A and B are shown apart, each in its own frame.
Chain A
Amino acid sequence: MKSDTAILSKELPKTDPRVKLIAAKMKKENYKPDALIEILHTAQNAYGYLPKEVLAYITKSLHLPPSRVFSTVTFYHFFSLKSKGEHTCIVCTGTACYVKGAQAILNRLEQKYSLKPGQVTPDNKLGIQVARCIGACGLAPAVVIDNDVQGKANAEEIIETINAKTGII
C-alpha cells in the first residue's frame, strides 16, 4: 500500500467529471467543515465508494485533519472504502423482513454466489449487502437490486434477476 503522504499529495485529474462534481459541491458549501457529510455523499454517489485519493482531496480542500475525515467515513454505514460492485443486491434484515424469512434468502444468496454480506465477487460484478430497513416493510421480505425494490421477495426469483443483470450463471 502507498504511504499516506503519497496519497495525500496525489493530484486527481481535474477534468474527471466526478472530481468536478465534488469540487462544485465543496464550493457550493463554501468549504465549510460542517458540510463534510454532504460532500462525502456527493463523492460516494459519484464513485460508488470513497477511494483514498478522493478522501485526501476532500481533506485538503476543507483543511481538515485526515483523522477527522477518516473517522467520520468509517462511522457511517452508508460510506464505503471499497467498491460495492458493479451491481448490488441489498437484502433487508430489518424486523419485518426478519420475521418473514430474510435470513433464508440471505443464506441462499451467500451459498449461490459464495459471498458474505459486504463482499464483492472477484470480477467486481456483484456485491451483496444487508440493510437495516428500507421502509418497504409492508412488502416484506424486501430486496433491492440496483436501486429497484423487490417486495415479497423470493430467493429463486432474486437469483434470476441478478443473473440476468450480471451475466453470472
Chain B
Amino acid sequence: MNRQELQALAGKAKGKHEQFKHKICVCCGASCISSGSEEVLKKLQEEIKTRGLENEVEVIPSGCMGPCNQGPLMKYLPEQTIYQKVDCNNITAIVQSQLIEKKPIEELLLFADSREKPFVNSNEDPFFKRQMKIALKDCGDINPENIEDYLAAGGYRALEKAFFLLSPEEVIAEVKQSRMRGRGGAGYPTGLKWETVYKYVSDQKYVICNGDEGDPGAFMDRSVLEGNPHRVLEGMVIAGYAVGSSKGYAYIRGEYPLAIKRFELAIKQATKLGLLGKNILGSNFSFDIEVRIGAGAFVCGEETALIASIEGKRGTPRPRPPFPAEAGLWGKPTLINNVETFAGIAPIITNGGEWYSETGTPKSAGTKVFALAGKIKYSGLIEVPMGTTLREIVFDIGGGVQNGGDFKAAQTGGPSGGCIPAEHLDVKMDYESLISLGSIMGSGGLIIMDKSSDMVDVARYFMEFCMDESCGKCVPCRVGTKMMHDLLQKICDNKGTQIDLDRLEELAVYVKETSLCGLGASAPNPLLSTLRHFRKEYENRIMNHQ
C-alpha cells in the first residue's frame, strides 16, 4: 500500500463509521471481561439484530474506559452515556430506554449507586472531567482488534507525516521539543535518548518496547496494549525511522495473555496493510516487530536484564555503561522505551512537540497515566496532566477513600518507591516533587491505603518482594534485602529493638549505594520512606510492642 491508498482506506473507514447514527462501546479490557462483558457484548449484538437496528447502531468491543471496578461498562456515543455493572438481563431495557425513547435509565448509569445524581454525559462526571487523555485517547472508543477503527480515528497519520514530511533529525527534534520523559520509571528525556541512539553508527540497531510492567498494582501498560495496540506499534515504527533501526521487539509480560494476543494481531494487520515490513508506504524504510513473552521475573523490566532475556538467557542485569543506546541487544545500539512512552509519540508528531510541552509542569511535560487501586472508592485507569495534585487524584477523581475511611498513605513507584502521607496530599504529581518526598513517580501504580494498613508491614511486604525478586548477581542486594527483610519481620513480630532499627537504617544506605542495578539500589526506598513519614509506627512496635 502506498500513501494515497492509506489515505483512501482511512477515509473509507471513517465514512463507514459515520453511516451509523449511534455507537455503543462495550469495554472488553481484561478487567471488564472478568466481570462478564463478553456475554454483555453478545447479548447486545443480538438485541440490536432482533430490533433490526444493525444499520443504525454500531456495536464496538472496545478497550478500557477507566472505571474498572464498575464493570462491565457500556458506553453510548455520541451522548457519552455510560452504564455500569451491566447485567445481561438489563440490556433490553437499556436499549429500549436509551436508544428508542431517548431516556437514559438513571439508576443504571455510571456511579449511580454512589453519586447523588449520576451524569448522563460521563465527560461531566468528576472522574473524567479532571482527566486529559493523550496516551489513552481512543482507548475505550475503538475496537483494538480492528486496524480500520484506528485508521478512522486518525491512526498512522503520524507515521505518514514522519516518513514523508520529516527527516529523522526533525522527528527527533519534535520529540526533544515535547520535553517528554520516559514513562518506565526513571524519567529520562525521550528525545535525548533517541538522539543518542541515532548518533551511533552501526549496521544494525534495535528498538525495544518495554511491556514487562513488573510493578505489582500497576496496569497502565496492560490497558494501553489491550485497548489501543496500534498506537504503541505506530510509536515503535516512528522510533525505528528516527534512530535508523529496522527491527523492533515488544517484550510483554507473560501474565498478560490478552495484551499479547492483541499486539500480535496488530502486527499481523499492520503487516498486511504494508505499515510494517519492507518499504513501508512505498518509502525506503523497512521495519519489523517481533513479540517476546516475559516469563515472570520482575528484574527483567530493567533494561539490561530485559535484553539478556530477549537473547534467551537468564535475565540478569549487567553494569552500565555501556548503556543499551551504545551496546544493547546483541551488542548493537538499542533504543528501549516503555509502552506508555511509545503511546505518546504519535500525538507529538501529529500536533508538534510544542503542543505537548504546553501541558504539565516545566520539568515534567505532558500527561501521565496512573493505575488507581487499593482502598479507593473509584479505582481504575486515569490520565492527568503532570503536576495534578495527589489530593485531586484521590478525592476529586477517585471519590476519596473506600467506605468513607480516612486517607493514610498513597504508595507510588511500587517496590522502588515510597509512601506519601496525608500531610503531603497537596504534592504535585511530577518527577521532582515525588523524589523530594522520598518516593518516585515510577511507572504509575498508585495504591491508596487507609488506616487498616500497617506501615511497618507495608515495608516488610515490599522488602519480601525485592528479596524474592533479587536476581542474586550482586552481594549487597542478594544478602542485604534478606537481612533487611528478616529485621523487618522481627519488628513486625514485636520482637525488634532499637538496635535492629539502627541496623536497618545502616543497611539501607549500603544496599542503596552499592547495588549493581536499580532493583537493589531502590529496594530500601519503601523502608526509608515509611521511616521518614511513619517513624512512630516503628517506635511503637519496638517500645510498646503494638
Knowing A38-B293, A95-B445, the reply to whether A133 touches B381 (Cβ < 8 A) is no
Shortest Cβ gap from B496 to chain A (Å): 20
* Interface membership of A150, Cβ < 8 A: yes
Size of interface on A: residues with Cβ below 8 Å to B: 40
Q: Say yes or no: B311 contacts A96, CB within 8 Å.
A: no
A99 near B375 with CB under 8 A, answer: yes
Which B residues are CB-close (under 8 A) to A142? 34
The number of chain B residues with a CB under 8 A from chain A is: 53
Complex Cα spacing A137 to B71, Å: 13
Knowing A77-B297, A95-B445, A100-B374 are in contact, say whether A138-B312 is a contact too (CB < 8 A): no
Contact of B255 among A34, A79, A97, A135 (CB under 8 A): A135
Q: Are A76 and B414 in contact (CB under 8 A)?
A: no
A37-B380 contact in complex given A136-B34, A139-B35, C-beta closer than 8 Å: no
Most buried by A among B69, B372, B373: B373
Cross-chain contact B216 with A133 (CB below 8 angstroms): yes
Assembled-state Cα–Cα distance A137/B374 (Å) = 8
State the CA gap A150–B215 with chains docked (Å).
Answer: 20
Q: Which of B35, B217, B293 contacts A133 (CB 8 A)?
A: B217
Give Cα distance in the complex from A131 to B465, angstroms.
Answer: 11
B297 touches A75 (CB 8 A): yes
Task: Give, as a whole number of angstroms, the nearest-CB distance from A26 to chain B.
Answer: 12
Contact B31 A94 (CB under 8 A): no
- Judged by a CB distance under 8 angstroms, whether A47 is at the interface is no
> Are A138 and B297 interface neighbours, CB within 8 A?
no
Contact B216 A132 (CB under 8 A): yes
Q: Contacts A132-B296, A138-B31 given: A34-B311 contact, CB under 8 Å? A: yes
A-side contacts of B461, CB under 8 Å: 95, 98
With a CB–CB cut-off of 8 A, which chain A residues contact B448? 99
Interface contacts beyond A37-B309, A72-B313: sample of 7 additional A-B pairs, CB < 8 Å, sorted by A: A34-B311, A38-B312, A75-B471, A76-B315, A78-B296, A132-B465, A133-B217
- Show 24 residue pairs from A and B whose CB-CB distance is below 8 angstroms, ordered by the A residue: A32-B312, A33-B312, A34-B312, A37-B292, A37-B309, A41-B293, A72-B312, A75-B315, A75-B316, A78-B254, A95-B374, A95-B445, A96-B217, A96-B379, A99-B449, A135-B218, A135-B255, A138-B371, A138-B379, A139-B68, A139-B69, A140-B374, A142-B34, A151-B35
